[in-house]
């Protein structure tokens, strides 16, 4: 088990290095110039600014400095927001995105497993059709449309009730988080439901379930002990990539619901060509996602011993 974890961690470190390198060279090929702003920039000032950010050195040397700073956990200073360190931006806004993301993953996983199991149990009957209709809707309607429409519906509900059931936008309390998290997790929930349904169908027709039925076990016990446990395995495998999809998918939800998350700052930084913020956020996000995938892999190894053997 430990060798498995260590191997995955080593792979993760290499992946993060790969991400950092790709980001660095991609950013160095970006046309456009963050220093070419509306402000007057004489050659002397320009040289000073370039020296300050280390932009006057050869690319190879910059790369080495960049990697060294990364290892020390220093992402540099923002180009456009005066005196603001990228680390500060991440420290301030990442917890918001992470909270939202975790809540969304919880929604998606719980909903996906539950609905998927239900559709399989009620195969080709009314509950199956109804849930699958919503699943198809969740898969084919873009998240920004769902976000906007649900926000609009919430406005309607709030004004119809005369009280603020849930706030429409903003951030702060748990009630602010519920709707954005639900919207954010919806696409993944639909995907997981489909996956859970097909894996559950396979389990239902398996020999050990038939044996359990023949032994006369109560249906509830068969469901929890035999069916759910086995059917949930494929769902856990895709949970890692799903977390990645959900956290980056947060850009839109953060925009629509006015949530001060990291995604919004990333989009803003890209629009302003704020190199250090873009590089810092990308590497940070990348490392986070790689780490999450490793965690899920290890969990999967714990649950299903066959994985470790490979």
Interface ranges with another protein (CB under 8 A): 11, 14-15, 18-19, 22-23, 26-27, 29-32, 136, 139-145, 148, 152, 244-245, 248-249, 251-252, 255-256, 266-267, 270-271, 273, 278, 281-282, 285-286, 289-290, 293
Minimum Å distance from CB 270 to another protein? 6
Give CA torsion, residues 150, 153, 157, 162, to 10 deg. 110
In this complex, which beta carbon is closest to another protein, that of residue 27 or of residue 49? 27
- CB of residue 283 to another protein, shortest distance in Å: 9
- C-beta of 241: minimal distance to another protein in Å? 9
Measured from the CB atom, the residue of 222 and 252 that comes closer to another protein is 252
Output the smallest distance, CB 200 to another protein, in A: 17
Q: Tell me how far apart the alpha carbons of residues 261 and 57 are, in angstroms, rounded to a whole number.
A: 34
For another protein, the closer of residues 26 and 59 by Cβ is 26
User: Could you tell me which residues come within 8 angstroms of residue 38 by beta carbon, excluding any fewer than 6 positions away?
Assistant: none
> CB 250 → another protein: shortest distance, Å?
10
Q: Which is nearer to another protein, 31 or 73 (CB)?
A: 31
Q: Which is nearer to another protein, 32 or 58 (CB)?
A: 32
Q: Closest separation between CB of residue 291 and another protein, Å?
A: 11
* Distance in Å, CB of 123 to another protein, minimum: 16
- Cβ proximity to another protein: between 110 and 152 the closer is 152
CB of 19 to another protein, least distance (A): 6
Select 198 or 230, whichever has its Cβ closest to another protein: 198
Closest distance of CB 74 from another protein, Å: 20
Q: Which is nearer to another protein, 34 or 178 (CB)?
A: 34
Q: Which is nearer to another protein, 139 or 228 (CB)?
A: 139
Q: What is the dihedral of CA 131, 136, 138, 139, to 10 degrees?
A: 140
Q: Which three-class secondary structure string do you get for the chain? A: CHHHHHHHHHHHHHHHHHHHHHHHHHHHCCCCCCCCCCCCCCHHHHHHHHHHHCCCCCHHHHHHHHHHHHHCCCCCECCCCCCCEHHHHHHHHHHHHHHHHHHHHHHHHHHHHHHHHHHHHCCCCHHHHHHHHHHHHHHHCCHHHHHHHHHHHHHHHHHHHCCCCCCCCCCCCHHHHHHHHHHHHHHHHHHHHHHHHHHHHHHHCCHHHHHHHHCCCCHHHHHHHHHHHHHCHHHHHHHHHHHHHHHHHHHHHHHHCCCCCHHHHHHHHHHHCCHHHHHHHHHHHHHHHHHHHHHHHHHHHHHCHHHHHC
Q: How many CB atoms lie within 10 A of CB 6?
A: 10
Q: Report the alpha-carbon distance of residue 147 to residue 155 in Å, rounded.
A: 12
């Amino acid at each position: 088990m430990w060798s498995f974890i260590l191997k995955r961690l080593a792979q993760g470190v290499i992946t993060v290095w790969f991400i950092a390198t790709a980001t660095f060279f991609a950013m160095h090929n970006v046309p456009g110039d963050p220093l070419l702003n509306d402000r007057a920039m004489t050659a002397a000032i320009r040289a000073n600014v370039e020296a300050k950010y280390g932009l006057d050195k050869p690319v190879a040397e910059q790369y080495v400095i960049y990697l060294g700073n990364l290892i020390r956990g220093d992402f540099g200073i923002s180009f456009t927001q005066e005196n603001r360190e990228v680390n500060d931006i991440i420290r301030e806004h990442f917890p918001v995105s992470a909270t939202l993301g975790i809540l969304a993953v919880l929604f998606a996983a719980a909903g996906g497993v539950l609905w998927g199991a239900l559709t399989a149990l009620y195969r080709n009957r009314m509950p199956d059709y109804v849930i699958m209709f919503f699943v198809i809707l969740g898969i084919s309607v873009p998240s920004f449309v769902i976000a906007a429409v649900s926000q609009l519906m919430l406005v309607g509900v709030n004004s119809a009730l005369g009280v603020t059931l849930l706030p429409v936008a903003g951030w702060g309390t748990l009630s602010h988080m519920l709707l954005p998290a639900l919207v954010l997790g919806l696409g993944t929930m639909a995907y997981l439901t489909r996956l859970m349904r097909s894996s559950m169908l396979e389990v239902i027709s398996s020999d050990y379930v038939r044996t359990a039925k023949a032994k006369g076990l109560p249906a509830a016990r068969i469901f929890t002990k035999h069916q759910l446990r086995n059917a949930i395995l494929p769902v856990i495998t895709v949970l890692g990539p799903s977390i990645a999809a959900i956290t980056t998918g947060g850009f839109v939800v953060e925009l629509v619901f006015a949530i001060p998350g990291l995604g919004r700052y990333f989009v803003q930084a890209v629009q302003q060509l704020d190199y250090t913020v873009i590089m810092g956020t990308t590497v940070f996000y990348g490392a986070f996602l790689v780490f999450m995938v490793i965690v899920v892999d290890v969990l999967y190894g714990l649950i299903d011993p066959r994985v470790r053997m490979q």
